[in-house]
Structure 1
């Protein structure tokens, strides 16, 4: 069963932000995923990134199909930089836990640790909680706006057949598609190129990480990985 704080359309984009086309910060996706969140706790260690380290970790990625520019880390609260934290949970290593109330995504590691990433999450009224799994994953995926969005935003109709992957594509460089019981929930964890979106609720339930963080998570996340989304 799905616990959803509101209704939303897959691939919906903030309808006030379209003039130049798909503003990634206002990108919103959503609709569906199950109940079953666990009350888990994360505690920060003292080994967070310095600004100099962040500039390296979030530097340009020139070898991608579409070279990714450096993140302007001055626009990201340092508490959202990638770091290793203590995390007490019974979930197996490799599990992804989304904490929308605090704008974090955790990948459970061995020895009671987790890799923690800053995230953007669903805005008020569009948050959901539950258990899912990664049903498929893609690099530089195609994005297709739903019919409901096209009816509201006719300018999106030119992408009815799919928007090719690229830096302007709302799904970004990497996407993990969340499934339940063999069916796609319409929720994703995706790559965001907008540093100012991190630590904010801007979507209809999907979760965005900075592109460099998303690549880091994607490379260590096989299909069938369990995903737990905590209540907001």
Structure 2
């Protein structure tokens, strides 16, 4: 009987450690290979039933919703609330589509008003000079694909280096781990990409 109690206690302790693990601080925002070697169960695959199916793992830990949305914003406007870690696409009936996003980590969050200057499918990734200075081991260029940290789609914000883009790390959605970009699952970014036009206004509220 004593052995059984010890086994149960050990099992419960193991569950507690597993539950605590996602809360541990880590910084993988500059590492395009994290999803391949992390062993976290989110390796790119053909899972998912949404518009991102076949474009890499597309399930989101934060399901998108249609919600009531008050504000003087035109339909088609994007409102990003970094503190909430949510992106809203304003609709024409007093509602918005609400998506979970990953945002910039401490020291990399920002606010302002931009517009979508360009849209790209399966974008290639060229790490900016500032990032290469921090991480000289990164590739100078990485072609588009399911292993690319920009994911299936990217929407470029004005002339800045920032984007709304997909991700090969869906487990980071809802967290503050990026270098200032706004990341979404491939399923969600494809859905958003298909709904917005170049020129759409984007409000970033920190």
Q: State the TM-score, normalizing by the size of structure 2.
A: 0.74
The one of 153, 156, 164 aligned to 1:189: 164
Residue 204 of structure 1 pairs with residue 183 of structure 2: no
Instruction: Give the drift of 1:85.
Output: 0.1
Q: State the TM-score, normalizing by the size of structure 1.
A: 0.66
CA distance in 1 between counterparts of 2:29 and 2:89 reads: 34
Distance verdict in 2 for CA 1:202–1:143, change over 3 Å: same
Instruction: Give the drift of 1:22.
Output: 3.2
Residues 22-171 of structure 1: pairs in structure 2 closer than 5 A: 22-23=33-34, 56-57=49-50, 61-62=53-54, 67-71=55-59, 76=61, 80-156=62-138, 159-160=139-140, 162-171=141-150
Instruction: Give the drift of 1:177.
Output: 0.2
The RMSD of aligned alpha carbons is: 2.3
Q: Which runs of 5 or more structure 1 residues have no equivalent in the other structure?
A: 1-13, 26-54
Q: Which runs of 5 or more structure 2 residues have no equivalent in the other structure?
A: 1-26, 37-47
Distance verdict in 2 for CA 1:98–1:24, change over 3 Å: farther
CA distance in 2 between counterparts of 1:117 and 1:216 reads: 10
Residue 175 of structure 1 pairs with residue 158 of structure 2: no
Deviations 1:160-184 (A, max 9, x none): 2x211011111111000000xxxx1
Corresponding residue number in structure 1 for 2:7: none
Corresponding residue number in structure 1 for 2:21: none
CA distance in 2 between counterparts of 1:15 and 1:194 reads: 9
Counterpart contact for 1:97–1:106, Cα < 8 Å: yes
Instruction: Give the drift of 1:211.
Output: 0.6
Instruction: Give the drift of 1:145.
Output: 1.6
Distance verdict in 2 for CA 1:152–1:174, change over 3 Å: same
Distance verdict in 2 for CA 1:70–1:113, change over 3 Å: closer
Instruction: Give the drift of 1:192.
Output: 1.6
Provide the secondary structure at the position in 2 that maps to 1:175. strand
Instruction: Give the drift of 1:224.
Output: 0.3
Residues 209-228 of structure 1: pairs in structure 2 closer than 5 A: 209-228=184-203
Counterpart contact for 1:134–1:227, Cα < 8 Å: yes
Distance verdict in 2 for CA 1:101–1:165, change over 3 Å: same
Counterpart contact for 2:119–2:153, Cα < 8 Å: yes
Distance verdict in 2 for CA 1:205–1:134, change over 3 Å: same
